[in-house]
Every structure is written in C-alpha cells, then in structure tokens.
Structure 1
Amino acid sequence: MSSFGLVGFLVQHSPDVGTALRNFVRFLHLHVHGTAPTLAVNGRRASFGYEIHQPRIESVDQLADAGVAAGFNILHPCAAPDWLPVEVQFAHPKPKDTSPFQSVLQRPLRFDAEQNAVVFSADWLDHQMPGADSELRRLLQKQIDALEAKHVDAFHEQVRAVLKTALLTSHGTAGSNCWPVLDAQSHLASPVAACGTSFQELLDEGRFSVAKQMLEDSSAGVSEIAATLDYSNASAFTRAFRRWSGTTPAAWRTDQRKTSGRKPQSTGGRNS
C-alpha cells in the first residue's frame, strides 16, 4: 500500500475493511489519473472493481488484469490471512491459457463479465484493520483534505469516471452503491453542486461519452446501447443522442468509421 502514497497509508490505518476500501475509491484520484476503482455491495456480496477511463489505451485488457491483481493484493492483507474471494471477474474474453490467473488468484474465474472485479463476502467489510492507528489516521486525513482542496477539478473528473463505470455496469443511479465517491464526500455539503453542475447534467454527459465509445469501438446495436444506458427504448436514446450531437447514432457511427477507418470490435461482456 505504500506505493499509493498518502492514500495507501490512509487505507492501512482505516478502522475497518469497508472504510479502507471506500477511502481507496474516494481518494485514489489524488495519486493516479485515468482509472476508477469501485466498491459495490449487493446483498451478501461485495465487489471491489477497477476500470480504465483513458480512451484508446493500448493493452487495456492486460492493464485491467493488473488492476484486478492489485485489488486482490490490497484486500488480502486488509481482511485477514484466511481471506479469499468468492469469484474474480474479468470484462475481457477468456484467454487460451488461464493457468497464470489461477496460480495468482486461486479462485473461480469468470470472463466476459460486466466488470473487472474481486467479489467477496460483504461480511468482511466489517472486519477490523490490523494495526490501525486512529491518531495517525487523523493526521493523514488532514493532509489529504488539504491536498484535495487544491484539486477541486480532479474531484469533478473522478465523479465523471465513476459515473461512466456505473453506466457500463448498469448502476447509473444516484442511490447506487457504486457511488461511494459521492457518499463519502463529508467536507462538502453537496459534492456534485460544488462542481458547479447537477447530477442529471453529469448523467447526460456520462451517457453521451459511453454512447460514443460503444458506437465507435463496438458492434453493439442502437437498441443494445439504449438498454445499457437505461433508456426505455431505442427511440428515446436516439432523441437524446440527436440533442447532444445534432445527428443520429447510426449517422455518427458511420461518420466516425469513415474518418478513422477503424473496424468495430466485439462487444465482449460489457458491450464496450
């Protein structure tokens, strides 16, 4: 965790695993840009995920694999020596040789999933962090708050990144557990308003970004994209897209492919 600087030390000295992971999700943007960790709880299971939001990154599957392995390595010492995940998920197709994955993770693997994530029992979130120092945590939090105050725009970008992840994994609502970055903002009365915008504006902006990504980089149909973005039907999505871009999704896709000469990729597990 020391490789994550102040954020890593804050995680190490958080009172419990749930708080540690929420701190990691909430403040990682101060240390790394272009990625968004997520923490979601669904019933008795929790998932600690990793997404890359920089467009057109090379070897994105390998980077996602590294992110999942890092998540595994973060959770293992935080929880307990006997901690093991229920399942490890990857958004890319199953490789021909899965032995390297098995040797490191030693748990059931699922490929073509909606996200890159380590899935584990939500009971572990209440597990006390070993060696946590409350006074040191207070000092670390004070330093991080001061650092973040200098980078308000970075918080705005983090909200955008987490929203994009939420949309791609069908959690694009303000009440979703995929929104720890919003829920954990304690020193601003309204973190979204503090960014000079509204949730709906960010949601529309995120939908437009995801729609363009899927139209350009996948073979997903308009109906499929509309469903991913939680529109009631393709017509509603087309009307929204025309409002954002001045043209239809099909026309935009055709123009982009003529310009770039790129061929559509497989939709994979996330249709993106």
Structure 2
Amino acid sequence: MSGASDKWSDLAQRIGSGAAMVVGGMLGVWAGGHVFHVMVALICGLMIWELVRMLNPSEPGVAVQLGALSGAATLLAIYLPLGFALPVLLAPALVGFGQLSAFRTIFMIFTVMVMLAGFGMMSVRDDMGIVWMLWLVLVVVATDVVGYFAGRFIGGPKFWPKVSPKKTWAGTGFGWIGAALVGAVFMTQTGAGPQLIGVSVAISMASQMGDIAESAIKRRVGVKDSSSLIPGHGGLLDRFDGMLGAAVFLLIIGSFVGPAPLG
C-alpha cells in the first residue's frame, strides 16, 4: 500500500503548480507581442541560471551573470533581423564556455538549445499565430500528462533506467498517442491535412528527447532537480525540457512545414 501511495505522493503538489503554470503561460500566449517575448526571455535566463548552478555549483555569481546575459540576448534577438539575431543567440554559449571551470561542452550545447528554443517559441507566436502556438504547447503537455499517468497506471519496462528511472515505454508510447489526438483535433479545427497528426507525433518525440537530455545532465552531475523554483516539479529546466526539444525541432523543420504546420 505504501508503494502505491508513494507513487502518487507528489500528485497534488504537481497539479497545483502545474495549474498555476498553465494559467500564467496561457495568459502570456494570449497576450503575445512584448509580453510574451519578456516571459520567454525570463524563462530562458532562469533556465541558464539553473544549468550553470547544476554544472558549476561553486560559481553562483557566474550563474547569475550568464542567466542575465542569456535572457537579455533572447529578448534582443527577436527584435533583430535573422542575420543579426543568430550571433546574438549563440553568444551566451561561447561566453559561458570561456568562464566555466567544468562541463563546458555540456553547457555550450544545452545553452544553444535553450536559446534556439526560446527564439523558436517567440517566432511561432509572432509568425504562425496563437492557434499554432497553442498546438505546440498542447502537444508537449499531452505528451507529458498522458505519459505520466500511463507510466504510473501501466508500469512495465523502463525506457532508460540508468538516466530516467521513472520513465517507462508505456508512458513514452501513450505520450505519442496523446500528441496524435491533439494533432487530430487541430486538423479538424484548422483545415490542416492529416499529416499534422504525424508532425504532432514527431514533435512529441522531440519533446521526449529534450526531457531525456536534461535527465542525462542531472544524472551526470548527481542532482535530482535543476532547482526548487516550482513546487512538485523542481526547476524550470525540469518543467520545460520537453518544450525545449519541441521548439527547436519545429524551428528546424519550419521551412518544410510552412508558415502553419501543413495548414
């Protein structure tokens, strides 16, 4: 009995914090423009702060500096032409590479991912509109929520127990199904073709890759959560790792799927 209760011990806290994040996030998405840009830049800056604290806990001052630099660079980049935005987005990764005393390569790669993801989310909202921003968010949320409950109800073989001991193949597969259902709903409501379902599943897979990458970093440095900013969820990196993978993937394939995903 205690094993079952332990499995769900964090559920109430997760739901409360998750609801607050959803409300805040949806308000930001609805507002768009400068409000959404500032929100995304703040999240990116805090994620880099968390990353540096994990990789180099003895350098809290550097964590603050690189977090502030990354947030400012994210915000500046969205207002620049693309050719000027790209070096601004990459600059924090190189600055941090020269400042940190350990795990420099991990920092550089993951920082580029965070910066591109932030830029990608702002671009989706600015260029594709609120509908497709909501689609992206809901695909990632469905992947996480459906996977969470399926993994705990069904259990079964672990996906990668050495890195993510709670993630199961059942949760992973049902996450794809949840994403496919989101794609199907948006297909009927937007007039997009059936390939949107496949794109949604691919976005789901990319979000899971982001989750796995962040879990691997935590395992490498020996921490459970990226921080304690969000009760029941850990840090922003713990909560938005899936969105990182999804947003970067959508940014990469944007030239193939068009201004709206197969719309």
Query: Is the structural similarity TM-score above 0.5?
Result: no
TM-score (norm 1): 0.29
Higher helix share: 2
**Which of the pair has more CA radius of gyration?**
1
Higher strand share: 1
TM-score (norm 2): 0.29
